[in-house]
A and B are shown apart, each in its own frame.
Chain A
Amino acid sequence: MNDLTRRPGTMPLSVLLRDAAQHLRQVQPPAALRDRLAAHWDASAAPRRRRWRAPLAWSGAAACALALLLSLLLLTLPATPLPQTLAVPSASGFVPLVGPERWRQLTADAATPAWLVATELPRERLATIGLPFDPARAAEPVRAELLMHASGDVIALRLLGE
Chain B
Amino acid sequence: MMPFVPWSRAGVDDTPALLDKLARGDAAAFDALYRREAGAVYRYALAMAGDAAAAADATHDAFVALASRPTGFDPSRGALGAYLAGIARHALLALKRGAFDALDDDHTEGNAAAGTASPEDLQVRRQGRDALWRAIRELPWPQREALVLVDLQERPYTQAAAIAGCELNTLRTRLHRGRQRLAARLGAPTQESPR
Contact = CB atoms under 8 A, between A and B. Distances in A.
Interface in B124-156: 124-125, 127-129, 131-133, 136, 147, 151-154
**Which label, helix, strand, loop or mixed, suits the secondary structure of the B interface?**
helix
Given A14-B194, A29-B56, A24 B63 contact: no
B193 A14 contact: yes
B52 interface: yes
Contacts of A112: none
Interface in B168-195: 179, 182-183, 186-194
Given A16-B128, A17-B194, A33 B186 contact: no
Contacts of A22: 112
Contacts, number: 135
Nearest to A8: B128
B2 interface: yes
A24 B186 contact: no
A21 interface: yes
B59 A44 contact: no
Interface residues of B, number: 56
A55 to B, nearest CB: 15
Nearest to A16: B132
A29 B67 contact: no
B121 interface: yes
A133 to B, nearest CB: 49
Contacts of A21: 151-154, 194
A18 interface: yes
A4 interface: yes
Interface string A115-140: 00000000000000000000000000
Nearest to A42: B1
Interface in A16-55: 16-30, 32-34, 36-38, 40-42, 44-45, 48-49
**Which label, helix, strand, loop or mixed, suits the secondary structure of the A interface?**
helix
Contacts of A104: none
B192 A33 contact: no
A108 to B, nearest CB: 49
Given A24-B153, A27-B43, A27-B107, A19 B125 contact: yes
Q: 6 tightest CB-CB pairs across the interface, nearest first? A: A29-B42, A8-B128, A9-B187, A5-B121, A14-B194, A13-B188
12 contacts: A6-B124, A8-B127, A11-B128, A17-B194, A23-B129, A26-B108, A26-B110, A27-B103, A33-B60, A36-B60, A37-B60, A41-B2
Given A21-B151, A27-B43, A28-B107, 10 more contacts: A8-B132, A13-B188, A13-B194, A14-B192, A20-B129, A21-B154, A27-B103, A34-B2, A34-B34, A45-B25
Interface of A: 4-14, 16-30, 32-34, 36-38, 40-42, 44-45, 48-49
